[in-house]
Amino acid sequence: MKKPESVIIALAPRFEVGAKSALQNTQLRRNMGKATQTIRAKRAAVVEELSDWESLRVAGQHIKDEVLQHLDTYLVQLEDAITQAGGHVHWAKDAHEANEIVTRLIQATGAKEIIKVKSLTTDEIRLNEALELAGITAIETDLAELIIQLAHEKSSHILVPAIHKNRSEIRALFQKSMNLPELTDEPKELAAAARQYLREKFMTVRVATSGANFAIAETGSVCVVESEGNGRMCLTMPDVLISVMGIEKILPRWQDLGVFMQLLPRSSTGERMNPYTSIWTGVHADDGPQEFHLVLLDNGRSDVLADSVGRQTLHCIRCSACINVCPVYERTGGHAYGSVYPGPIGAILTPQLVGMAHADSLPYASSLCGACYDVCPVRINIPEVLVHLRGKVVAEKQAQPKSWFDGENIGMKAMATAFGHRSTYEFAQRAGQLAQWPFVHEGYIEHGPGPLGKWTAMRDFPAIPPQSFRDWWRERQRDE
C-alpha cells in the first residue's frame, strides 16, 4: 500500500548525525537548558496544586481511548453538527488532498494573502509551501512562528517554535526585518513590535486558517487554545475561516472539555489557564466569519490506529510536556529530530505517520528513562511504543537478505542463542572471560572490537568479572 507523502521529514539527516552537530553548538545548549528547566519548574508547581491530577490523567486517557474506539461514529456526528450550524466539512486522506482543498477554498475568495493561527497540523502538511506555489502568501501570526518565518528557519519545539533563540537573537532579527533600529531586547518591547507589525494584517486580511485543539462531536464546536490573542483575531476578524484538524482531535461530549482544559494548560505552558480560549460552532450571526470550513485530515493517522501498541500515540494533545522533560531533547534541541514533531512524542509519532523506512533512527533517540510517560497528561506510554517501534525497525532490517551478513545482526542472533539456555549462557560467559583479556582496562572495555566498537565509542562496557554471580552462588552453597 502506498504511504502518504513524506511530508514530515524534509531531507533531514539521521537523528544521530543531526544530534552530533547540535551538541557542538554551545549557544543552543545554553538556550535549551535554560528554557526547558524554566518550563519544567512551572509545570511541576501548577500540577502539584491539583489533588486530583492522577484522576484527570486517567480520565483524559479514557476519553481518548473511547474516541479512537468509535472514531468513525464521532467523525460523522461532528460533521452533522457542524453542517447544521452552517459550517462545511471536508475530508482529506493525505497532505496533498488537504492542501488542495484549502487552496481551492482560498482561491474561491480571490484572496492573495491569508493570516494563520499557529497550527502543527498545517506545518505537518506544509500548507504554507503549497499556498506559495499557488501564489498565496500565508502570514504566521503567533510570535514564535513569526520569528521562525522572518528568520527562514524551521521550528524546534511544538509549542514554542523559536525556543532555540534567545532575546538578543530575536532583537537582531526584528531590527532588520521590521526596520526598527532602536529596538531593545526587552521581551515586552519585542512583543509590542510584533503587535504593531501584525495589527494592520488583522484589520485587513479577509481569510484565515487555523488548526484545532479539540472538536466536540455532540455539538460541532471547535476549540482553539492560545496566549497572545492572535488566535482570537484570526478566528473573529476575517470573513472566511478554514481550520485543518487531525481526525484524532475529536472529543465526544462538551463536558469532556472540563477535563482537557485542566490537563492542557498546566502541562503545556505551566499555567492554571492559558490567556485565551475560543470555542465556536459553525457560523454565528453578526459575529465573526460568516463562512467556516473544517478539513478533517488522516495523513497516516488511520495506520497508527490499526497498530494496537502504537494507537495510544493518537491520544496526544500536543502539550509538549514530554519534550520539555526529555534529557535527550534538552541537549540536542528540536532540529536534530528532522520533524515537525520533535522530542519523545515526535520519536514515536513521526515514524508511524511517514512509515518506518523514512524515520528509523527516531525510535532510538531516547534513553528510555520514562520521564515522558510520567508527565504525559493522557498517559501515553512512550517508552513502550519506542521499544515496539525499535522491534519493527529490526524486523524490517532482518527481512532484507543483506542482513545475513550484517555484523550487528549476526551478533544479536548469537546472543539470543546464548541467552536461550543455561548451558549455552554459561559456556558463552566462560568463553568471554578468556577472549576479553586484550580489551580489558581496569575492569572495563573502553574500545570494543568489531561492531561492539560503535557501542563503546559512547560508553564503557563492564568486563566479565573473573568470578560470575553463578560461580559465587554455587561456591556459597558448597561452603554451607
Partner 1 sequence: MSNSSRNAMLAKIRTAISNGSRGDFHEAHTNAAYLSNDDENIAVRIDLFAHRVAEYKAWVGRCKADAIAQAIGERLMIRGKKRIVIPSDLPASWLPTGIDFIRDAQLDRAEVAGMDGVLSGAALGIAQTGTIVLDGGAFQGRRMISLLPDYHLCIIRAQDIVGMVPEAFTQLETARRNPIQPYTFISGPSATSDIELNRVEGVHGPRTLDVFIVG
214-253 residues near partner 1, rule: CB under 8 A: 219-221, 227-230, 232-233, 236-237, 247
160-219 residues near partner 1, rule: CB under 8 A: 160, 162-163, 166-167, 170, 187-188, 190-192, 194-195, 198-199, 202-203, 219
Show the binding pattern over residues 57-86: x = contacts partner 1 (CB under 8 A), - = does not.
-xx-xx--xx-xxxxx--xx--------xx
For residue 373, the minimal CB distance to partner 1 (Å) is: 15
Show the binding pattern over residues 286-305: x = contacts partner 1 (CB under 8 A), - = does not.
xxx-------x-x---xx-x
The residue (of 182 and 286) whose beta carbon lies closer to partner 1 is: 286
For residue 76, the minimal CB distance to partner 1 (Å) is: 7
For residue 301, the minimal CB distance to partner 1 (Å) is: 9
Rounded Cα–Cα distance for residues 203 and 239 (Å): 11
Which one of 7-15, 89-97, 108-116, 457-465 is the stretch in contact with partner 1 (CB under 8 A)?
89-97
Closest alpha carbon to 146 in 216, 186, 75, 197: 197
Rounded Cα–Cα distance for residues 390 and 199 (Å): 48
Rounded Cα–Cα distance for residues 448 and 442 (Å): 14
Closest alpha carbon to 101 in 111, 91, 110: 91
Residue at grid coordinates 508511524: 352
The residue (of 276 and 364) whose beta carbon lies closer to partner 1 is: 276
Rounded Cα–Cα distance for residues 454 and 461 (Å): 11
**How is residue 462 annotated by DSSP?**
E
For the stretch 422-457, what's the b/e string if a residue is b when 16 or more beta carbons lie within 10 angstroms of its beta carbon?
Answer: eeebeebeeeebeeeeebeeeeebeebeeebeeebe
Residue 190: Cβ within 10 Å count: 20
Of 257, 365, 371, 375, the one binding partner 1 (CB under 8 A) is: 257
Which one of 5-13, 268-276, 428-436, 461-469 is the stretch in contact with partner 1 (CB under 8 A)?
268-276
410-429 residues near partner 1, rule: CB under 8 A: none
Q: Looking at this protein, which amino acid is placed at residue 421?
A: H
Of 121, 243, 262, 339, the one binding partner 1 (CB under 8 A) is: 262
Rounded Cα–Cα distance for residues 353 and 333 (Å): 21
Decide if residue 35 touches partner 1 (CB under 8 A): yes
Contact 235, 243 (CB under 8 A): no
Q: Looking at this protein, which amino acid is placed at residue 316?
A: C
Rounded Cα–Cα distance for residues 412 and 425 (Å): 14
For residue 8, the minimal CB distance to partner 1 (Å) is: 19
The residue (of 36 and 366) whose beta carbon lies closer to partner 1 is: 36
Rounded Cα–Cα distance for residues 347 and 48 (Å): 28
Which one of 131-139, 281-289, 335-343, 391-399 is the stretch in contact with partner 1 (CB under 8 A)?
281-289
The residue (of 391 and 450) whose beta carbon lies closer to partner 1 is: 391
Of 307, 384, 396, 460, the one binding partner 1 (CB under 8 A) is: 307
Decide if residue 93 touches partner 1 (CB under 8 A): yes
The residue (of 355 and 451) whose beta carbon lies closer to partner 1 is: 355
Decide if residue 3 touches partner 1 (CB under 8 A): no
Widest CA span in the chain: 91
Beta strands 221-226 and 276-281: pairing type?
A: antiparallel
Which one of 53-61, 109-117, 392-400, 462-470 is the stretch in contact with partner 1 (CB under 8 A)?
53-61
Count of residues near partner 1 by CB under 8 A: 102
Contact 63, 252 (CB under 8 A): yes
Of 284, 390, 392, 397, the one binding partner 1 (CB under 8 A) is: 284
